[in-house]
Structure formats: structure tokens, C-alpha cells
């Protein structure tokens, strides 16, 4: 497929390669009002893997009453080849969820905490201290079994109920999360209010607290259109793991002010323009998100998908694309 691509102009002071942590199948689809058929989820994941994404958060072993969209986690994981080279992490908040994940052969898990008390109560029904106590045996057992554990810290840049969140509070929760034994830390701007200077200051503070920049990932929502600017700030700080969601799917079912995740296509377009390797086929991603939009019955929100959709449609029909490669 011939399609327009950004001009590659290598910027100084940025990493040569970035790992994209794709969250669409879990964080993206869990916010859907309707239940997505299992076979559609599985096909979505397989297509994302074929497009070059190496880490795809595939499911969540959570209570189905809390997040019914994730009730088919076992069926989704059973349909995937966990030995094919990709990593398929799953969200696991409790020991019982860990047992369910381990019974399906999963060895990459994630726990999801909060920097604020209100969101912790709304999301987990526990205080921050109680949530960390709940995660402790999960992380310990997972690490004893040789599994990797990602520790999410949400509401790092702001909270819809508590307002601005002091950086010191985020650092406290982040260091305690890593102290449990997590192998990666994901800093989340769950409602998309962060700005680049805030992101730089937050990452600097977390690193100053003793957390290696190499284990830090960032998870931005695009509520105020700041996600890509915040990614660039994170890259300038040395972060090389960026979360995104194909087609910009997602939000947060427990925070109404949370808009969709940063779209993977928008992220790849920017990274390609900066001369940063991702290993991801942008054209395939666009096709995948158009396919998923058809299943969801609404247009894709990714600006890059919308801009390139005409070229993809032309390619499918065998016509000469309206745009040309650069």
C-alpha cells in the first residue's frame, strides 16, 4: 500500500527506538457500553500483533460484575499463542485473578493503583494503603513464579474529584509500588490534564527518588489534546516505553472526565517523523482501526487514521491512492 508518511527528521536528545505498549484490547474495549464478541477481540489482538506490536495488553482478570466487558478473559487468552514472541500482559488486581491468569499460562501481569484516595476508592473500593496491601501478595507470588509485573499509578497529573495532584504524592505511591517488586512503572495521566512541563517535573522527581528511567513508561489520555506533547516531553526525559491504544479507543469507566487514550497511529506518525524506530506498520494499523470502527459502529477518533483512511480505501479497491509517498 502506497500512502503518505511523515518526513523523517531526526531530533537530537531522543531515543533511537521506542517500545509501544498497546492497551486497546484491554483499556480501550473495557470502556465500551456494549459487550464486544470474544472472536472480535481475539482477531483485533492478532491483527495488532501482525502489524508489529510486540506488547499488547490483552485482557483483565477482574471481577466480571465490576467490568463486564472483561468477563471473557480466559477465552481471549486461550485463543492466543503465548509462545509466538509477543507479550500479552493482563490486568490482575487480586490473588484470585493471578491464579486465573497463571492457569492460562500468562506470565506478564499488571496491577492498577492510584495516586489519589478518591479514585482508589471508586476504582478498587479501597484506600491507597489498602490497595497496595492487596497488591503485595499478588506481586510477590508473580515475581516468585518468574513473571513480570507492571505497576500502574493513575491520576498522576490531576484527579476529577481532588483537583491537582502534588508530585510528592505520586512519587510516594510510585516508590511504594516499585518497593513491592514491580518490574515496570507506568505513570498515568488518567484524565488527560497534564502538560509537558508537568510531565518533565514528574519524571525527574520519580527518577530522583531512585526509580531507573529504563523501567518507567507513560500512559496519556488526550482529553485536552496534550498527549503527543506530553510524549515528547517524556522522550526528552529518557522514557522509551509509551502506552497507546489503536484508534484512540478507551477512557476510564470509573472517571467520567477521562477521554480516549492516545491513539497508536498518532503516536507512530510522530515517532516516524522524529526518526524513532517502532517496528510497527502504520498502514496496517490504520486498516485495523478502520475495521474495529466498523465493529463498534462509529468513526475512529484518531486524526492519523482519518487523514490516511482515503488512501487505505483506495488500496483496498485497487485504485491509485489520492496521496503519494514522501
Q: Give the active site residues.
A: 252
How many residues are given for the chain?
Answer: 326
Location of C-alpha cell 482501526 = 289
Host H or E run for residue 91? strand 90-91
Which cell goes with 284?
496496517
Q: Burial, 282: exposed, middle or buried (Cβ in 10 Å; 0-12, 13-18, 19+)?
A: buried
Cα–Cα distance for residue pair 220/100, rounded to 1 Å: 29
Host H or E run for residue 169? helix 167-179
Cα–Cα distance for residue pair 258/293, rounded to 1 Å: 20
Question: Any idea what DSSP says for residue 24?
Answer: I
Q: b or e along 159-191 (b: 16 or more beta carbons within 10 Å of the residue's beta carbon)?
A: bbeeeebebebbbebbebbbebbbebbbbbbbb
Host H or E run for residue 228? helix 227-236
- Note whether 72 and 37 are within 8 A (CB): no
Q: Burial, 318: exposed, middle or buried (Cβ in 10 Å; 0-12, 13-18, 19+)?
A: exposed
Amino acid at each position: 500500500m502506497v500512502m503518505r508518511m511523515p518526513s523523517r527528521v531526526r531530533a537530537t536528545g531522543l531515543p533511537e527506538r521506542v517500545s509501544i505498549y498497546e492497551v486497546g484490547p484491554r483499556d480501550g474495549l473495557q470502556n465500551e457500553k456494549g459487550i464486544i464478541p470474544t472472536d472480535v477481540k481475539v482477531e483485533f489482538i492478532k491483527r495488532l500483533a501482525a502489524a508489529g506490536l510486540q506488547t499488547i495488553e490483552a485482557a483483565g482478570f477482574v471481577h466480571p460484575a465490576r467490568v463486564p466487558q472483561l468477563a471473557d478473559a480466559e477465552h481471549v487468552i486461550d485463543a492466543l499463542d503465548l509462545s509466538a514472541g509477543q507479550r500479552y500482559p493482563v490486568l490482575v488486581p487480586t490473588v484470585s485473578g493471578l491464579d486465573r491468569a497463571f492457569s492460562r499460562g500468562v506470565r506478564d501481569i499488571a496491577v492498577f493503583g492510584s495516586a489519589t484516595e478518591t479514585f482508589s476508592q471508586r476504582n478498587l473500593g479501597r484506600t491507597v494503603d489498602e490497595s497496595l496491601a492487596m497488591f503485595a501478595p499478588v506481586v510477590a507470588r508473580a515475581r516468585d513464579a518468574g513473571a513480570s509485573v507492571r505497576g500502574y499509578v493513575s491520576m498522576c497529573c490531576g484527579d476529577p474529584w481532588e483537583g491537582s495532584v502534588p508530585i510528592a504524592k505520586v512519587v510516594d505511591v510510585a516508590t511504594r509500588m516499585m518497593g513491592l517488586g514491580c518490574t515496570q512503572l507506568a505513570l498515568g495521566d488518567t484524565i488527560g490534564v497534564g502538560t509537558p512541563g508537568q510531565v518533565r517535573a514528574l519524571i525527574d522527581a520519580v527518577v530522583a527518588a531512585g526509580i531507573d528511567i529504563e523501567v518507567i513508561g507513560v500512559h496519556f489520555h488526550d482529553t485536552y489534546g496534550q498527549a503527543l506533547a506530553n510524549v515528547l516531553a517524556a522522550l526528552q526525559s529518557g522514557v522509551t516505553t509509551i502506552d497507546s491504544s489503536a484508534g484512540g479507543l478507551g477512557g476510564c469507566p470509573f472517571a467520567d472526565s477521562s477521554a480516549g487514550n492516545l491513539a497508536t497511529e498518532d503516536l507512530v506518525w510522530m515517532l516516524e517523523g522524529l526518526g524513532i524506530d517502532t517496528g510497527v506498520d502504520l498502514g496496517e494499523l490504520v486498516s485495523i482501526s478502520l475495521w474495529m470502527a466498523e465493529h463498534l459502529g462509529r468513526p475512529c477518533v484518531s486524526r492519523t487514521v482519518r487523514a490516511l483512511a482515503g488512501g487505505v480505501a483506495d488500496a483496498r479497491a485497487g485504485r491509485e491512492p489520492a496521496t503519494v509517498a514522501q
